[in-house]
């Protein structure tokens, strides 16, 4: 490795982040081309189905004759298969690149070492593992989906200072402030789907859409075992793709998919297995307490983000109780305090 390698790879990681929400189900990838210590081209995977990061970065190089003397930094192993676009490994070889630095190997079975092998077979010097942990965090949803064979689960709720997330009988109460609400909409844009249970859907009548923040709309997921949601509720309005998980037989609806589950088997594993087959890589779970506690008790979570408000209710629906390590971040968000946990797999929730 060279002294400035980390600087250029970190730039590539920053570029990769710009594809958040739009590149999925593809990974976030950034690429930087450096000639004699100066960036001469850079790009990222901007949108699923569009050019990959390497294509955009090489196209940005004004003088391709410099490529054989340049060092290319890419955050993920270049692909070696034909998907929506041709293999990026072939492009690097064809352009005469001779020096490539890679942050992470690709776990996707159609790549998984083949891209690196193809580059090396062409005589290209390849170095791997630079800022690997930062790269894995950036693409944690992609890695988790391919390695663990289930979606990455982010549990989120707001609770009062005395530990409630709703009033008595699920009466709606505005717990968190406007800053927390805005951040929640950002998070919705970052995840591929949003999940709620029956009672939350019934009592809150949520839209589960991204508002006041740029980004794609997630797929809405609702557990409604007995199809008890009235047709006037927002989740059935057909405004965005929605999956309803039920024990009843499906009925036709616009922009709505009903998935009938088996009552003989545990519900949540069936939901997660179905989402894996649908290539849903990440889910933001916004409630309610039954779904949240079931996932916590089963150890089926990867991040927990809790807004704690200064408000006190005195009574109501209790928020999940946590006994966790893995606190990644604690900070103020307006009048609320955010607690952000990452599952270290050693200390399950209880």
Residuewise pLDDT in 10s, the chain (350 residues) = 788 999 999 999 999 999 999 999 999 999 999 999 999 999 999 999 999 999 999 999 999 999 999 999 999 999 986 666 779 999 999 999 999 999 999 987 767 788 999 999 999 999 999 999 999 999 999 999 999 999 999 999 999 999 999 888 778 889 999 999 999 999 999 999 999 999 999 999 999 999 989 999 999 999 999 999 998 999 999 999 999 999 998 777 788 999 999 998 999 999 999 999 999 999 999 988 999 999 999 999 999 999 999 999 999 999 999 877 789 999 999 999 999 999 976 333 33
Q: Looking at 144, 178, 208, which one is the last position of a domain?
A: 144
For residue 128, what are the β-bridge partners? Answer: 102
Q: Are residues 109 and 168 in the same domain?
A: no
Taken as a whole, the chain contains a residue count of 350
For residue 171, what are the β-bridge partners? Answer: none
- Tell me, yes or no, if 54 is annotated catalytic: yes
How far is residue 138's CA from residue 10's CA, in Å, rounded to a whole number? 11
Q: 93 lies in a domain?
A: yes
Q: Are residues 75 and 174 in the same domain?
A: no
Q: Are residues 284 and 237 in the same domain?
A: yes
How far is residue 263's CA from residue 266's CA, in Å, rounded to a whole number? 7
| Residues in the annotated binding site | 52, 79, 88, 158, 188, 200, 204, 208, 211, 286, 288-294
Q: 191 lies in a domain?
A: yes
Q: 72 lies in a domain?
A: yes
Q: 252 lies in a domain?
A: yes
Q: Are residues 123 and 184 in the same domain?
A: no
Q: Are residues 88 and 167 in the same domain?
A: no
- 276 sits in which H/E element: helix 267-277
Check residue 84 and give its pLDDT: 66
| Residues in the annotated binding site for Zn(2+) | 52, 79, 88
Q: Are residues 166 and 111 in the same domain?
A: no
Catalytic residue, chosen from 42, 46, 54, 69, is: 54
Q: Are residues 61 and 15 in the same domain?
A: yes
Check residue 23 and give its pLDDT: 94
- Fill in the DSSP letter of residue 328: E
Residue 15 domain boundaries? 5-144
């Amino acid at each position: 490795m060279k002294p400035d390698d980390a600087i250029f790879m970190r730039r590539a990681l920053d570029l990769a982040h710009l594809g958040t929400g739009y590149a999925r189900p593809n990974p976030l990838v950034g690429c930087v081309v450096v000639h004699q210590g100066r960036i001469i081209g850079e790009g990222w995977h901007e949108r699923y189905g569009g050019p990959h990061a390497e294509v955009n970065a090489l196209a940005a190089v004004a003088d391709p004759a410099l490529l054989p003397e340049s060092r290319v930094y890419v955050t993920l192993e270049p692909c070696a298969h034909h998907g929506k676009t041709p293999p990026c490994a072939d492009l690097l070889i064809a352009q005469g690149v001779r020096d490539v630095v890679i942050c992470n190997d690709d776990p996707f079975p159609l790549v998984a070492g083949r891209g690196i092998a193809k580059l090396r077979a062409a005589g290209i010097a390849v170095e791997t593992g630079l800022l690997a942990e930062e790269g894995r965090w950036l693409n944690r949803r992609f890695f988790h989906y391919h390695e663990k064979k289930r979606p990455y689960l982010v549990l989120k709720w707001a609770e009062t200072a005395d530990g409630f997330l709703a009033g008595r009988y699920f009466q709606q109460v505005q717990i968190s402030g406007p800053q927390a609400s805005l951040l929640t909409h950002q998070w919705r844009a970052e995840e591929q789907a949003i999940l709620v249970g029956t009672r939350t859907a019934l009592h809150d009548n949520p839209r589960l859409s991204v508002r006041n923040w740029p980004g794609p709309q997630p797929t809405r997921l609702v557990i409604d075992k007995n199809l008890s949601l009235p047709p006037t509720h927002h989740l059935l309005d057909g405004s965005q793709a929605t999956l309803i998980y039920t024990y009843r037989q499906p009925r036709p609806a616009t922009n709505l998919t009903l998935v009938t589950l088996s009552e003989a088997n545990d519900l949540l594993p069936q939901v997660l297995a179905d989402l894996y087959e649908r290539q849903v890589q990440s889910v933001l779970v916004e409630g309610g307490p039954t779904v949240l506690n079931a996932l916590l008790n089963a150890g089926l979570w990867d991040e927990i983000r809790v807004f704690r408000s200064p408000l006190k209710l005195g009574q109501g629906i209790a928020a999940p109780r946590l006994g966790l390590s893995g606190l990644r971040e604690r900070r103020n968000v307006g009048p609320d305090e955010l607690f952000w946990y990452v599952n270290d797999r050693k200390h399950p929730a209880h």
